[in-house]
Structure 1
C-alpha cells in the first residue's frame, strides 16, 4: 500500500470474465471514493476486466485474524 497518511486504504477486486472468481488484485490509498475509482481504472488497466469493485479497509469485517508473531514469546 501507499505510504501517504491522508485518505483511506482500498482493496480492488476484479473478475476477468463472467463466471470467474472475484479476486483481489491490488490495494492502494486514495483521498476519496471517486479518486479511488480513477486510480483503480488507471493503475489496474492491464486486463479487460468485466467487473471491478473497491472495498475500503475500514469496511472489512474480520472473521479470523492471526495472532501476533511474537505474542507467544511474550513480546508485543
Structure 2
C-alpha cells in the first residue's frame, strides 16, 4: 500500500468586495481538489465572497527573518 502524501495549503479569503485578501489559516490535503473541499468545510464560519488555497511550496519568500539565536556573522 502506498503512503498518501498530504501537501500543505495556505488559505486566503475576502469577506466583501474591495477588502484585502487575508490569510486565515492552513490545511493539509492530498490533492488540489480536496484542498478546496477541505477549505470550504473547515473555514465556512463567514460568508466569504472569495476564497483561495495556495500550495505552500508555491509561495516565494522575498524576505525571511533571521533566527532568534543567530548573531550577525555567526551561524
Q: In which range does the TM-score fall when normalised by the shorter chain?
A: 0.7 to 0.9
Query: Structure 1 residue 6: deviation in Å?
Result: 2.8
> For residues 28 and 10 of structure 1, what CA distance do their matches in structure 2 show?
5
RMSD: 1.8
Q: What are the ranges of 5 or more consecutive residues in structure 1 without an aligned counterpart?
A: none
Alignment length, in residue pairs?
A: 71
Give CA-to-partner distance per residue, 1:11-61, whole Å, 9 cap, x none: 100001101111001101111101100100000000010000111110001
Q: What are the ranges of 5 or more consecutive residues in structure 2 without an aligned counterpart?
A: none
Say which one has the larger Rg. 2
What's the TM-score, normalizing by structure 2?
0.85
* Corresponding position: 1:63 with 2:62: yes
> For residues 68 and 55 of structure 2, what CA distance do their matches in structure 1 show?
25
Structure 1 segments of 4+ aligned residues over 4 angstroms from their partners = none
What's the TM-score, normalizing by structure 1?
0.84
